[in-house]
Homo-oligomer: A and B are copies of this chain.
Amino acid sequence: MPTQRNGPRRSSCAIACTLDIVGDKWSLLVIRDLLHGKRTFGELLDSPEGIPTNMLADRLKRLEDAGLIVSAPYQERPVRYAYSLSDKGAAMGEVLLAIVRWGKKYVPGTRAMDPPRSSGAKRRTA
């Protein structure tokens, strides 16, 4: 599944190259949750879509390798990391907005997700 992580580009098309990074069912949901202020692995795991643990770990690694997110340890023994979006990752918010608009209009019964209300997640974007 994690094909082309370091492979050659499929083309010079900006769409193709972007899909090489986030073209799957989970990456943009992880970015959605980070935009909504989630920070830790546990918070990100607690999404309504139920992302599997190994999938989340893989996507975090890929997105960090691609420069969309950054991680920093917030605890030692055991070490735990907090994740946040780089400018490059936060800019994907414009893509998410376009997707939300399309989904709300064309997929009945869908809505924009509210940021989580739990105490652990601070809202970092509107």
The reply to whether A15 and B100 form a contact with Cβ atoms under 8 Å apart is: yes
In the complex, A75 has a CB within 8 A of chain B = no
- Interface-lining segment among A16-24, A37-45, A55-63, A117-125: A16-24
Task: Answer whether A110 and B24 are a contact pair too, CB < 8 Å, given A18-B103, A92-B102, A102-B18.
Answer: no
In the complex, A101 has a CB within 8 A of chain B = yes
The reply to whether A91 and B95 form a contact with Cβ atoms under 8 Å apart is: no
Assembled-state Cα–Cα distance A11/B102 (Å): 16
Scan residues 30-59 of chain A and give those whose CB is less than 8 A from a CB of chain B.
32, 47-50
The reply to whether A110 and B17 form a contact with Cβ atoms under 8 Å apart is: yes
The reply to whether B99 and A14 form a contact with Cβ atoms under 8 Å apart is: yes
20 sample A-B contacts, Cβ–Cβ < 8 Å, listed by A number: A10-B50, A12-B110, A13-B29, A13-B49, A13-B110, A13-B113, A14-B100, A14-B104, A15-B28, A17-B110, A18-B102, A18-B103, A19-B99, A20-B25, A23-B26, A88-B106, A94-B98, A94-B101, A94-B102, A95-B99
